[in-house]
Amino acid sequence: MLHQGTVVAVDIGNSRIKLGLFHLQPSADTGLPQPAATVTLAPDSPGEACNVEPLGEWLAETISPGTPLVVASVSRPGTQALKDYLAAHHDGAWNQLRVLTNADLPIENLTDEPDRVGIDRLAAAVGASTVRRAESPAIVIDFGTAITVDLVSAEGAFAGGAILPGIGTAAVALHARTDALPAVRPPIEGKSPASVGKNTSDAIRSGLYWGAVGAVRELIARHRDGLVKPPQVLVTGSTSPDMARLLGGPDYTVRYMPHLVLAGVASTWWKLEE
């Protein structure tokens, strides 16, 4: 029986905090709950902590008394910043805050160190396991501060994966570790850059973007080796549908699901409340 309440799912990453209001009913298209409203909190400047001040207006417009906030976090400072803000401005919301642990997520974890896997990776895998075809594996790609390329087995277990620097992280490193290369805004969203840059900044954008595409495609191919059935590939995070389409292959489909982690958090809360 479906739980009829609502929940605010919270994804606290190293660079951003994302929140989504969910009415816990599965989408007819995906089988996952989909957010009725979302907000993303980001730093005012690169390298700074997230600015949580815009959260007040969003909560005032979105949340009703008694609505739980359920958090999946990979950033202890981000979690503390959210707690401090809610304690200072939203006592009712603070009282309903629940921070998930890896053990809360309804998915088998086959890695060597299950407690050390980022909970955002597991939440995305929970969402992927819900929408994947029966008895078929899935590969989950999450673009963020890091890019993760993870495998969900045909049985629905989190099998592990690969972690590489995110596009923005690589851009910052190039500028910080060289004398002459400029800081550039990474081409995370929107139109893909030309592969042949006509100036240094455009050459960096090309390398960041097409390098990420190539690395992820290679990891998909490596993950694909040894699988009996073709995987369904799900792309989420700070990227665009255009980039997701570039990751397609001859024997697998790619779906762009921007709220996969939040949906996995909401689905987890749904399971815990059953």
62 is in an annotated binding site: no
Round to whole Å and give the CA distance between 21 and 9.
6
The active-site residue out of 44, 120, 202, 251 is: 120
179 is in an annotated binding site: no
Concerning whether 120 is annotated as a catalytic residue, the answer is: yes
200 is in an annotated binding site: yes
Residue with tokens 């390329």: 149
User: Could you tell me how many helices (H) and strands (E) the chain has, helices first?
Assistant: 8, 10
11 is in an annotated binding site: yes
Round to whole Å and give the CA distance between 206 and 89.
43
115 is in an annotated binding site: no
Cα 205 to chain center, whole Å? 22
Round to whole Å and give the CA distance between 206 and 37.
33
The answer to whether the beta carbons of residues 21 and 36 sit under 8 Å apart is yes
Task: Give the closest residue to 39 by CA, choosing from 73, 64, 62.
Answer: 62
76 is in an annotated binding site: no
Residue type, 65: P
242 is in an annotated binding site: no
17 is in an annotated binding site: yes
Alpha helices in 136-258 (DSSP H): 167-176, 200-224, 241-245
14 is in an annotated binding site: yes
163 is in an annotated binding site: no
Q: Could you give the 3-state DSSP secondary structure of residue 20?
A: strand
101 is in an annotated binding site: no
119 is in an annotated binding site: yes
Helical pair 76-89 and 55-62, crossing angle rounded to 10 deg: 60
Binding-site positions read 11-18, 118-121, 142, 145, 200
Residues with catalytic roles? 120
